[in-house]
Amino acid sequence: MLSTVNPVKIEVDGQLFVVDASRPLLSELLAAGIDLPHLCHDERLKPIGACRLCVVELEGVDRPRSACEIAPAEGLRIRTKTTRLEALRRTNLSLLARNYPPQVLDQEPNHPFHRLLTRYQIQPPSTVSGDVYCDESHPLLRIAMDRCIHCFRCVQICRDLQGADVWQVWARGPETRVVARSHQSLLEAGCVSCGACSDTCPTGAIADRNEQVAEAWTDSTCVYCGVGCQLKVGTRDRRVVSIRPAAGAVNHGHLCVKGRYGFAFNHSPERITKPLIRDAEGWREVGWDVVLDELTARLKSIMDRSSTANRSVPLGMLGSSRATNEENYYIQKFARVVLRNHHVDCCARVCHQPTAAAMKTMLGTGAATNGFDDIELARTLVIAGCNPAENHPIVGARIRQAVRRGARLIVIDPRRTELAEIADLHLAVQMGGNIPLLNAMAFAIVEEGLEDQKFIAQRVDEFETWRQSLSSFAPERVASYCGVEAEQIREAARLYASEKPAMCLHGLGITEHLQGTEGVMALVNLALLTGNLGMPGAGINPLRGQNNVQGAAHMGCEPKTLPGGQSLDLARSTFESAWGVSLSSESGLDLLQMVDAAQRRELAGIWSVGYDIFLTLANADQVARSLQELELVVVQDLFMNETAKGFAHLFLPAASVFEKDGTFMNSDRRIQRIRAALEPLGEARPDTWIIAKVAQRLGFGEHFAHNSAEAIWDEIRQVWPAGAGLSYDRLTLDAPPWPCPTSDHPGTRVLHSERFAHGTRTNFRVIPWVPSPETTMGEFPFRLSTGRHLYQFNAGTMTQRTRLVQLQSEDCLEISQGDAARLGISDGERVHVVSRHGRIELPVRLSTRVRHGELFTSFHDPALFVNRVTSPVRDRMVNAPEYKLTAVRIERIGKAGSSSRQA
């Protein structure tokens, strides 16, 4: 977070200090190491002055004042430790101990309140306190409100950091107490299980259920979504036992349920901790030497054959967003230097490759133009095709708080998501209707003369051509294709164009379509049209779904891209001289091309690092047919995933995020460090170790001879000019966003402010509308979209092996009440969902979030295998699957009739 530092000199107990006048005195005193007692204070919250323990004496003022309520002023002289102050603190503490259960002091001596009671030698009398709130049903939180000392930190943090407003204050006077909304259970009251209340509670009245006290803490970065929350990993007895938020610039000391509680996968009994080779008998545990020799031999054989045939090695490398930048750099370097091909890709292909392509083409950089701090600067927020409240919860919480402070909110989403509920405008676009909707907004802005003429004149070409292309997109004309009323489209257009700065955040609801790339281009058109670009509080900002999906692609795990997001065409010679090899001149295969090539038997193998392609690619049956054709499938992962189970020959056990050093790149262009908190489990090894060993055996050891993640990073900085200034020691809680070319460069928070990355001017792009072949005519009357929900993550590899399954484990088919009634389906009933491509079985959930004729399901459970029904339709520009629209029908199990016949 940006803060103005306003230094003033003050005297504390006779000692001089320089402090920041813009922060409460208490915060500054604590930062200076002065041990002032406090209980209601939390750096994440506004001071409320409840506990009255941080009282200090100001020179010339008789009545003591609370340090949390004082803004430091030049020359302020205070005393913090007089007899009178200590007596006042002791009395106030004794009041808090009046009805406190004495036995818990010995049981859990480390809570701040317990430490203070010990320090002031106060023993609570054994009295029974009155009526307190109880809830024993939450799987992650343990509630013991007989310990509540009314500091109201839980109430404040739930309201002002998360925005769930679960904790409420009931009654007044001696009856005052903290309860969950309407005295319901926490989950009924809307708890999103972020654990902020438990993290801030100073007594253990609200605590993590079964939490073990950590012996050591390691600073790191969250492994889930692309927000990049900073956290502390608590370990004990060689296990992760706790995760707590750190005051990172993006998360402000907050975490979501996944980051905070989703760590137990690390020591799951299902972790693979020894290398495996599959033979006729099945999987066999072997030592590293054996597996590496085997892998080397097989690779050599493939390489020799291709060298005889004088073509690039037909083997694809797949990087991973779960892996670090350093590891992804190694993966692509292995492909390019050892295999001498460009057959390298990663899962960014299937989520934001359309974004990267669209933004690179139009703006010159395929990354977010602004940062998360801009959420607080924007007057209007457009949330397009993403559901941050569940999928990027910390960003969702920041958006919610911004809206509470008065920001306007437009949500473009077929579903009535949580943020849609608080939006000024919810454009419930029909699945597949993004292009007509976004073009219609542009039409309305131009027709109503709301465009930013100055910005266009200075920076954008092709306005006239583009304007003419919009003529068939009048809101009134296309409303029925978008499923949004024309007036709503116009309202949104006016808001976006006039309440500036307006910031757009988008997700896979825009990209995972036949016209995904063009959808992002349509968003960029709108930003160019209204001048919402190149300034704070504006821009086009993809929300990355996974921790390092930005980094994986940016490190060159993409056929046409070299590390640093540099195009192969332009940067080839730089890399050839840096690496001392010549790069293949044959174009590389992307992931979907690899799948296609495999089916044609033109690819011999795939080495997939941390990527379960069989489970997660659309149209799984076709993927299976391809993978069966490969002579070598190597899976490098924590778990025996679906790709490994079905197709792999070798399994290489990888180290987890808690067991290695390196960096991730988050959605707002920050490089953030992860640090090993534990030794790798069993014989698991970091991806870099494994790759280096294989390279060595193949005679390329010198290219992979780094002795630490930092050494690899330093090599990356040498080949990526825009990251050159980002040495490890600058990667703090508030790491500078790239571009950051030199060690004294402050980083770039807003891109394109003066010029675009590729020049001073850019063009509007004409975007025609090409409807998806996934039509709902005839037998397949429903549109189905897939996505994630709050308590699970992607393929469930991690979250399904944690306590989060107790909150929600099964994928459900969300259907509107009306459709369910029409089909005679009841809540919880299991049905078949059938598309032109496959069939799955899912339980039904009646939902108010989806509209008539549309369905939604999450895809977390490998057993349900949702991608058996998704289609082979791909983005027509970058080869990414259209996960967000499949025409389906519903068939009731064991009963006559199907939706197609009843519709």
Partner 1 sequence: MAHPIEDPAAIRSFFSLHAAPPTDHPCRGLACFAARACQPDRWDAACRSSPSVICLGQCFEGPALAGSESRPAIRCFGGEPVLLERILQRPVRSLKVYQQVGGERALQRAQQLSPEALIECIEASGLRGRGGAGFPTGRKWRAVRKSGHRPVVVVNADEGDPGAFSDRFLMEDDPHRLLDATAIAARAIGATESVIYVRCEYPTAFKMLEQALAESVVTGRLSSITIRLVSGEGSFVCGEETSLLNAIEGRRPFVRSRPPYPFQKGLWGRPTLVQNVETLCAAAWIVEHGAEAYRARGTEESAGTKLISLNSRFSRPGLVEIPFGIPLRTIVEEIGGGLANSELLGVMVGGPLAGLLPPEVLDTPFTYADLARVGGAVGHGGIIAFGRDIAIRELVAEVLRFGATESCGLCVPCHQGLAELHEAIPVVIASERDRREQRMSLDASRIKDGCSPLTHPRWLELLDVLELTSLCGHGAGIAEFLRSIERYFGQEMAECFQP
Give me the residues that bind partner 1 (CB under 8 A), please: 46-53, 55, 63-64, 66, 68-69, 71, 87-88, 91-92, 94-96, 98-99, 125, 127-128, 150, 152, 159, 165, 168-176, 179, 181-182, 190, 404, 418, 421-422
List b or e across 91-112, with b for residues whose CB sees 16 or more CB atoms inside 10 angstroms. ebbeebbebbbeebbeeeeebb
Q: Which amino acid is at 693?
A: K
**Least Å distance between CB 444 and partner 1?**
27
Please give the angle made by the CA atoms of 666, 669 and 673, to the nearest 5 degrees. Answer: 55
Nearer to partner 1 among residue 55 and residue 76 (C-beta): 55
**Least Å distance between CB 68 and partner 1?**
7
**Least Å distance between CB 423 and partner 1?**
9
Peptide bond into 37 cis (omega under 30): no
Nearer to partner 1 among residue 312 and residue 847 (C-beta): 847
Nearer to partner 1 among residue 88 and residue 581 (C-beta): 88
Nearer to partner 1 among residue 31 and residue 169 (C-beta): 169
List b or e across 849-878, with b for residues whose CB sees 16 or more CB atoms inside 10 angstroms. bbbebbbbbbbbbbebbbbbbbbbbbbbbb
Spatial distance between the Cα atoms of 834 and 868, rounded to a whole number of angstroms: 9
Pairing of strands 141-143, 206-208: antiparallel
Nearer to partner 1 among residue 64 and residue 565 (C-beta): 64
**Least Å distance between CB 188 and partner 1?**
12
Let me know: does 346 contact 552? Beta carbons within 8 Å. yes
Cβ atoms within 10 A of the Cβ of 466, count?
Answer: 21
Nearer to partner 1 among residue 163 and residue 275 (C-beta): 163
Query: Token pair for residue 260?
Result: 């905070």
Nearer to partner 1 among residue 418 and residue 734 (C-beta): 418
Spatial distance between the Cα atoms of 9 and 210, rounded to a whole number of angstroms: 46
Nearer to partner 1 among residue 98 and residue 236 (C-beta): 98
Spatial distance between the Cα atoms of 604 and 616, rounded to a whole number of angstroms: 21
**Least Å distance between CB 178 and partner 1?**
10
Nearer to partner 1 among residue 20 and residue 875 (C-beta): 20
Nearer to partner 1 among residue 89 and residue 322 (C-beta): 89
Render 615-648 in DSSP notation, one character per residue.
HHSSSHHHHHHHHTT-SEEEEEESS--HHHHHH-
**Least Å distance between CB 15 and partner 1?**
24
**Least Å distance between CB 193 and partner 1?**
17
Nearer to partner 1 among residue 114 and residue 670 (C-beta): 114
**Least Å distance between CB 46 and partner 1?**
8
Nearer to partner 1 among residue 63 and residue 600 (C-beta): 63
Let me know: does 834 contact 888? Beta carbons within 8 Å. yes
**Least Å distance between CB 147 and partner 1?**
14
Which residues does 336 contact at the CB level (< 8 Å), separation at least 6? 342, 344, 556, 575, 579, 581, 583, 584
Spatial distance between the Cα atoms of 126 and 205, rounded to a whole number of angstroms: 17
Cβ atoms within 10 A of the Cβ of 599, count?
Answer: 17
**Least Å distance between CB 158 and partner 1?**
10
**Scanning the structure block, which residue is given the tokens 């925005």?**
163
**Least Å distance between CB 160 and partner 1?**
10
Let me know: does 199 contact 242? Beta carbons within 8 Å. no
Nearer to partner 1 among residue 52 and residue 352 (C-beta): 52
Spatial distance between the Cα atoms of 845 and 865, rounded to a whole number of angstroms: 18
Peptide bond into 739 cis (omega under 30): yes
**Least Å distance between CB 775 and partner 1?**
33
**Least Å distance between CB 424 and partner 1?**
12
Cβ atoms within 10 A of the Cβ of 169, count?
Answer: 12
End-to-end CA distance of the chain: 53
Nearest in space to 867 (alpha carbons), one of 649, 524, 616, 552: 616
Let me know: does 355 contact 543? Beta carbons within 8 Å. no
Three-state DSSP string of 163-232: CCCCEEEECCHHHCEEEEHHHCCCCCCCCCCCCHHHHHCCCCCEEECCCCCCCEEEEEECCCCCCCCEEE
CA distances in angstroms from 31 to 53, 68, 233, 689, listed in the order given: 17, 13, 22, 40
Let me know: does 298 contact 315? Beta carbons within 8 Å. no
SS3 at position 84: helix
Render 859-871 in DSSP notation, one character per residue.
---TTT-GGGTS-
**Least Å distance between CB 773 and partner 1?**
37
Q: Which amino acid is at 291?
A: V
**Least Å distance between CB 169 and partner 1?**
6
Let me know: does 359 contact 368? Beta carbons within 8 Å. no
Nearer to partner 1 among residue 87 and residue 705 (C-beta): 87
Q: Taking the mean position of all CA atoms in its chain, how far away is CA 771?
A: 30
**Least Å distance between CB 49 and partner 1?**
4
Spatial distance between the Cα atoms of 523 and 442, rounded to a whole number of angstroms: 9
Nearer to partner 1 among residue 82 and residue 622 (C-beta): 82
Nearer to partner 1 among residue 67 and residue 885 (C-beta): 67
Nearer to partner 1 among residue 374 and residue 418 (C-beta): 418
**Least Å distance between CB 185 and partner 1?**
14
Nearer to partner 1 among residue 9 and residue 404 (C-beta): 404
**Least Å distance between CB 642 and partner 1?**
37
